[in-house]
Amino acid sequence: MRPTGTIRPVTIPTYDEYVACLSRVTAHVDPTVATRDSQAVQAAAASLERLPTVDRAMIAAWIENYPDAVPVLGLVVGLSQEKLKNALRQHLGTSSWTRAARVDPLGIAEMLDAEFGLVASLEAQRGRTYTFGDLLVARAGTRVYATSAGTAGRLVEDRIEQIAIDLGLTYATRSRFEGRSGRTAPCDLAVPDAGGAASIVVAAKAFDSTGSKLTDAVREVEEMAAVRKPTQFVMAVIDGIGWLSRANDLRRIHALWAAGEIDGMYTLATLDDFRADLEHAARLRGQLTGH
């Protein structure tokens, strides 16, 4: 489904050549250096250690005073923020711990204790002396010092958005576009034509870690390619060393490019090519007339 008026001619690199351009998209962060998040956790932990007693009522009072620190109670029983949200949604009808803290702080305390043994766990852990090995085990599972996959994705989204701004394009971010037969697909950046319909759509998928989110990203790009109209350009900026562990997923996107199902596939190292292709496509669709 190559669009009418194709992007400038380019020799598509092999899969191995593309992989060679992948880079780390998140900076390494020294876990021994304090961050705002780590300081907040430490402050919450210190306040929990100062509680005169540990029971549901006392924890509920603590939640009232520190509603933003509810995730620290999740950490006490080994819950990630995502798992905490799921538990809150299941038992209290909301995934927002700040909302639940305002409405029903005792409900949070009772749920975390009944389901995960919060009172006993907190009593056993606070004031305990931990070894270096304990620290490394905790660090292996914590996200306090880690840069999230979402942050990596936003870095790439910000870069392609800045290019759209530099070119003077009208655009929308994190939206859905309409393709053939009224079908829609997600995109991270869309450039509309004069009538407001998307004529150029871009996916930005960068991951330094691995997991099912990479397969989800591939599915989104495939969906974009499947619904595109002949007049629409589809591009994808794919980077991050997480893809090295999901070679089959990355190959699926590269295969779309090689088959002409999408019009370009780029990394941060080849954003100059992305800029040139975006500008060329925009000129073909009349967005840069006289620019």
Any residues with CB less than 8 A from the CB of 27 and at least 6 apart, and which? 147
| Residue 6: per-residue pLDDT | 57
Mean pLDDT score across all residues of the chain: 87
Give CA–CA dist 113/55, Å, rounded: 9
By C-alpha distance, which of 274, 188, 272, 249 is closest to 15?
249
In three-state secondary structure terms, 266 is strand
| Confidence check: pLDDT of 94 > 50 | yes
By C-alpha distance, which of 55, 49, 46 is closest to 112?
55
In three-state secondary structure terms, 289 is coil
Q: What's at 201, amino acid-wise?
A: V
Highest mean pLDDT (candidates 24-28, 65-69, 86-90): 65-69
By C-alpha distance, which of 8, 266, 269, 280 is closest to 167?
280
Q: How confident is the model at residue 144 (pLDDT cuts 50, 70, 90)?
A: very low
Give CA–CA dist 18/4, Å, rounded: 26
| Residue 11: per-residue pLDDT | 81
SS3 letters for 138-205?
HHHHCCCCCCCHHHHHHHHHHHHHHHHHHCCCCCEEEEEEECHHHCEEEEEEEEECCCCCEEEEEEEE
Whether 138 contacts 78, CB under 8 Å = no
Whether 269 contacts 20, CB under 8 Å = no
| Confidence check: pLDDT of 89 > 60 | yes
**What are 265's two structure tokens?**
């596939």
| Residue 33: per-residue pLDDT | 72
| Residue 146: per-residue pLDDT | 44
Query: How confident is the model over 20-35, as a mean pLDDT?
Result: 75
Query: How confident is the model over 265-269, as a mean pLDDT?
Result: 94
| Confidence check: pLDDT of 78 > 80 | yes
pLDDT tens digits, 209-236: 777 889 999 999 999 999 999 999 999 9
pTM of this prediction? 0.60
Q: What is the largest CA-CA distance in the chain?
A: 73
Backbone φ and ψ of 190, nearest 5°? -130, 135
The neighbouring-strand residues paired with 203 are 236
| Residue 147: per-residue pLDDT | 46
Query: How confident is the model over 46-73, as a mean pLDDT?
Result: 95
3-state helix, strand, coil in the chain (%, to 5): 55, 10, 35
- Domains of the chain and any CATH numbers: 15-26+148-284 (3.40.1350), 36-141 (no CATH)
Q: How confident is the model at residue 127 (pLDDT cuts 50, 70, 90)?
A: confident
